[in-house]
Amino acid sequence: MTAKDARVIVYAQPTGIDPYSGGSLTTYYACLRPDGRPVAIGQSATSGGEYPGNVEMQDLRIAGSFVTDESAAGFASAAGCSKYEPAPKCNNIVKYWVEIADVATRRTVKVFVSGPVSSLALSPAGAAAWVAPTPASGSSSSSNSTLYAVIVHSGGHGSLSGRPATLGSGQTISSVSFAG
């Protein structure tokens, strides 16, 4: 997965073997054009045979000097667990997060989320928003979604910080974008 715009380029570089699956491990970097220093923004791994790659980065977005993506880890561990244990014990092994990077300052933050996101957006000011499925309530069989957002700011020690806020939930939320 590579991407670029007028200010930022994202590129992939092989970085070894995934210790969990035995497959190839790729690290993704972002840098300012034309000659900025790179910052690692995520990893993906391939299957090495019996188990799937343990990490995955997807849904990459670039806006201004910011980059965001959805990442997850634990796929190989979950596959190994489900091979030997009943399913409920293995349900919470995979961890998901939205990662936001300010490429200009090389600072990043991971915002952990409860599961995969269905839509992700980023503003040039460093605000990210995403839609995530929420479990259906007791008597309802239809699924709901929740809209979350976070504005990042300098957090010290070379990092960013930000606290996600719930902006709304319901059956009609399916995507998110920033205007302007």
Residue 180 inside a domain? The answer is: no
Chain position carrying tokens 């979350």:
148
In 3D space, the residue among 33, 72, 64 whose CA is nearest the CA of residue 152 turns out to be 64
For residues 70 and 65, what is the distance between their CA atoms, to the nearest angstrom? 18
Residue 109 inside a domain? The answer is: yes
Catalogue the E-assigned strands of 20-176.
Answer: 24-32, 39-45, 55-63, 66-73, 95-102, 107-113, 119-122, 127-134, 144-151, 153-156, 159-161, 165-170
In 3D space, the residue among 69, 53, 102, 97 whose CA is nearest the CA of residue 1 turns out to be 69
Q: Are 89 and 108 in contact (CB under 8 A)?
A: no
The structural domain count of the chain equals 1
Which of the pair, 17 or 136, is modelled with greater confidence? 17
Query: Mind listing the pLDDT tens digit for each residue in 3-51?
Result: 888 899 999 999 999 999 999 999 999 999 988 899 999 999 999 889 9
pLDDT of 180:
64
Q: What percent of the chain has pLDDT over 70?
A: 94
Which run of H or E residues covers position 16? Answer: strand 8-17
Residue 177 inside a domain? The answer is: no
For residues 162 and 151, what is the distance between their CA atoms, to the nearest angstrom? 6
Confidence of residue 135 (pLDDT cuts 50, 70, 90): low
Residue range of the domain that includes 99: 3-170
Residue 178 inside a domain? The answer is: no
> What is the pTM assigned to this prediction?
0.89
